[in-house]
Amino acid sequence: MNSQFIKPTHRRWTYISPDKQHRHELDHILANGKYITDVSVVPSFTNGSDHRMLRANVHINAKQAKFEQVKRRKPPRRVLDPTAALLATENLDSCEDQDIDKEYDTLVHALKKAQDAAVTIPTNHSRNRLKTVRDCYCRKGDSQTDQTPTSRPCPKSADKR
């Protein structure tokens, strides 16, 4: 990143050789470039080393960072069931034709069919949340008059009345 933000030569070097004749730009800040706005050398800070300290200006958008964290939490859309995959691959029909393109198309069709048979869609998390909320209302003994999915009386409490 130090070479990306152009500075004068007296502000670029980060390492000086033991004979004090050669100056090199050795130390770098490795980071995602979209968050770094400037990199520079701290000239007046003495740390007892032959290296000078680097500083970087970092600009982080809190809303974007939060969005990226939420974006990564999405559950997988499809889950492979190994036993179903094994059964689906055992039932594949293999035919050898003279035309290789036709044989390839048959193979692709058979593999897609086996994949569809072996893949299951995970349960919908919103339904699980609604069921949990409904169970909480049942345990609480809350009887409300509106008939929303979360406020319907549970079957157990209806039997007790």
The answer to whether residues 42 and 87 belong to one domain is: no
Question: Is 70 part of a structural domain of the chain?
Answer: no
Give the global pTM: 0.34
**161 falls within a domain:** no
**Strands (DSSP E) found in the chain:** 15-16, 23-24, 36-42, 53-58, 79-80, 119-120
104 and 50 fall within a common domain: no
Task: Provide the number of structural domains found in the chain.
Answer: 2
Burial class (CB in 10 A: 0-12, 13-18, 19+), 36: middle
**Residue 129 maps to a domain:** yes
pLDDT tier at 161, thresholds 50, 70, 90 = very low
Same domain? 53 vs 83: no
Question: What range does the domain containing 83 cover?
Answer: 76-142
Q: What pLDDT band is residue 77 in, cutting at 50, 70 and 90? A: low
Does 80 share its domain with 49?
Answer: no
More confident: 137 or 3: 137
